[in-house]
A and B are shown apart, each in its own frame.
Chain A
Amino acid sequence: GDSVTQMEGPVTLSEEAFLTINCTYTATGYPSLFWYVQYPGEGLQLLLKATKADDKGSNKGFEATYRKETTSFHLEKGSVQVSDSAVYFCALSDQAKAAGNKLTFGGGTRVLVKP
């Protein structure tokens, strides 16, 4: 079945540091890929998405490129802020499946940015 693997946290960084969170996936079809962010006590917010190979999703300084050859969708940000402290989830939705777009999530990576 479909699966998503992302690096375990916590990841602790200083403000303005470079952030990378690795994500790889396994899917039988042609998935769409997503990064969601969860702030403490809140639900998930869509951060960015990519729907086909070589697409780059970007939002709020975050970027991720859909790499079909390496089945990866790594999240990057060049200069993090304290407000980026959150849990980040990589997810996929396999459009080839018959019923709907249920999301398969990775285990989440907690990021803590210190001033």
Chain B
Amino acid sequence: NAGVMQNPRHLVRRRGQEARLRCSPMKGHSHVYWYRQLPEEGLKFMVYLQKENIIDESGMPKERFSAEFPKEGPSILRIQQVVRGDSAAYFCASSPSQGAYEQYFGPGTRLTVT
């Protein structure tokens, strides 16, 4: 059973460009979480999605950031008009249900904004 897949693993963008980060949850998992890890800091929750629904986006910046988890295909975290402060590692996690205790993390996408 493949784990959580994220791509790309490394992404370099110039200021003002768009960044798209993809996450494929584990097989059978329909719940996806996105977290951001700034340099030398812990992970901060961004958004929680189920298929075709955003359940909790309380951790998402109000502007430039959006997320989706379509019926088919991976979950996408989209950052428009990136700025240097967006440079971070973005981790996706999945779980099989809302009541499940465990979240399984992907290897992360390291975004660098130049």
A43 touches B101 (CB 8 A): no
Residue on A nearest B89 in the bound complex, by CB: A43
Interface residues of B in 21-71 (CB under 8 A from A): 31, 33, 35, 41-45, 48, 55-56, 59
B45 touches A103 (CB 8 A): yes
In terms of DSSP, what is the predominant structure of the interface of chain A?
strand
Contact stretch, chosen from B12-20, B77-85, B104-112: B104-112
The distance in angstroms between the C-alpha atoms of A100 and B93, with both chains bound, is 12
B41 touches A32 (CB 8 A): no
Task: Flag whether A102 is at the interface (Cβ < 8 A).
Answer: yes
The distance in angstroms between the C-alpha atoms of A51 and B107, with both chains bound, is 25
Q: Answer whether A89 and B43 are a contact pair too, CB < 8 Å, given A99-B48, A102-B56.
A: yes
Task: Flag whether B100 is at the interface (Cβ < 8 A).
Answer: yes
Q: Kindly list chain A residues whose C-beta atoms are within 8 Å of the C-beta of B55.
A: 99-100
Q: Answer whether A100 and B107 are a contact pair too, CB < 8 Å, given A46-B102, A51-B101, A89-B42.
A: no
Q: How far is the CB of B104 from chain A (nearest CB, A)?
A: 8
Task: Flag whether A77 is at the interface (Cβ < 8 A).
Answer: no
